[in-house]
Amino acid sequence: MKKLLLKNINQLATFKGKKAKHGKEMSDIYLLNDCCVLIEDEKIADIFPSQKLALYADKDVEIVDCSGKLVTAGYVDCHTHFVFAGDRSDEFNMRLNGIPYMEIMAKGGGIVKTVDATRKASEETLIKLSLSRIKKALSYGVTTLEAKSGYGLDTETELKQLRVANKLNNLQPVEVVSTFMGAHAVPKDFSSEKYINYLIDEMLPAVTKENLADFCDCFCEKGVFDAAQCKKILTAAKLYGLKPKIHAEEINRIGGADLACELGAISCEHLLKITDKDINRLGKSETIGVILPATAFSLKENYAPARKMIDADCALAVASDFNPGSCNTQSIPLIIALSNIYCNMTIAETLCALTINAACAIDRGGSRGTVEVGKNADLIIHNLSSLNELNYNFATNSVEKVIKKGKVVFEKDY
């Protein structure tokens, strides 16, 4: 049996349990000083104080010295669109000149521009592009990440994107969890009604036949899909066994968060324009609110009211939303800084939102998101001595080593 021992950890910062933490529970952090973590095969086998290390005389163990270091669970990036081709740097600069995101989309840019490039790209090209992005995610401590489709908007390309996302699991260590997001935009030459029927009658059966996704997401937005249309799509998706997610209240408040609660969706995401009434309902539900502060930063929009949501007992996760349009960054350190400085979350709440709550937002809380005996050994060794330093040296990557399923899979080489 392969064993790995992290010895003399200065501080281990983790949450406990398998379920999403709501409201005040997001502060229930455990800070263990001077401890060791024993990993057997892919799982955490023991956590014990460093004083007991002398008793540990197992010779078959590979040792990683964590003296002076902070150790946390690996980050889970639970909302990304990282499988795509092409780039939209021109649009970023147009936005900086004052042209709004939705206006660029209405003029034929935006999502459909990436759709054109992704349709043209071969599976091999998409794999190559995705591998380099996933490598970057790993360097930021991401051990599991979500990949949404939605840059195909036809059966062939949606399947291509999802097949690529699934294949990545055999090509590198970071786990990829897939979400079918055919309802990302209405493609050219389709009315929304015609496209929704095509999505339900043809795409959904094809995606589920190959078992390519766990979730189905919809862009619930003015001029894209309204709440009634999202309800139709997600109700059909549920019948196929896909769990609903919704891009809700990003640019306009049109009822996506409310719908997420009504459908018992696993998550609703963005929430920049969420109302107090929606927040109260979300706080009483099991649906996780996923906030994406780097998107608000990139769009120069006001941030999601994270403080209000946590105070109303919501369970919040934080993710990158990495995509070629509204948010072209994978930087977890930037996201931590924005969560703390602009979303008024504490560093403990932020860690909760990036680990256990993010794992729950993609239904992986049972095996990931905390450092506990029995969970997968997905861990980050930070070049910091305690949790307080994680936001202090802001927007700076502190990741020194990453362990995925018990193996050291990333080591900083500088």
Contact positions vs Fe ion (CB under 5 A)? 321
C-alpha distances in angstroms, 295 versus 40, 77, 98, 236, 344? 39, 14, 16, 29, 16
Distance CA 249, CA 271 (A): 5
Of 6, 27, 8, 7, nearest to 16 (Cα)?
A: 27
Residue count at the site for ligand NIG (CB under 6 A)? 14
- Please tell me whether residue 325 binds ligand NIG under the rule CB under 6 A: yes
Rule CB under 6 A: say whether 149 interacts with ligand NIG: no
**Does 219 engage in binding with ligand NIG (CB under 6 A)?**
yes
Identify which of residues 326 and 376 has a Cβ nearer to ligand NIG in the complex.
326
CB of 79 to ligand NIG, least distance (A): 7
DSSP string, 34-84: EEEEEEETTEEEEEEEGGGGGG---TTEEEEE-TT-EEEEPEEE-------
CA distance 117 to 131: 18
Binding to ligand NIG (CB under 6 A) within 247-306 occurs at 247, 250, 295
Residue 333 found at the interface with ligand NIG (CB under 6 A): no
How many C-beta atoms lie closer than 10 Å to residue 132's C-beta? Answer: 8
Q: Which of 111, 237, 242, 343 binds ligand NIG (CB under 6 A)?
A: 111
Q: For residues 111 and 316, which CB has a smaller minimum distance to ligand NIG in the complex?
A: 111
Neighbours of 14 (CB within 10 A): 23
Nearest to 72 by CA among 377, 414, 409, 396: 377
**Pairing assessment for the beta strands 30-40 and 3-14 based on DSSP bridges:** antiparallel
Can residue 326 be called a binding residue for ligand NIG (CB under 6 A)? yes
CB of 91 to ligand NIG, least distance (A): 8
Binding span for ligand NIG by CB under 6 A among 55-63, 209-217, 325-333, 377-385:
325-333
Question: Which residue from 110, 152, 289, 365 is in contact with ligand NIG, where contact means CB under 6 A?
Answer: 110
For ligand NIG, the closer of residues 25 and 91 by Cβ is: 91
Residues in contact with ligand NIG by CB under 6 A are: 81, 110-111, 114, 219, 247, 250, 295, 321, 323-327
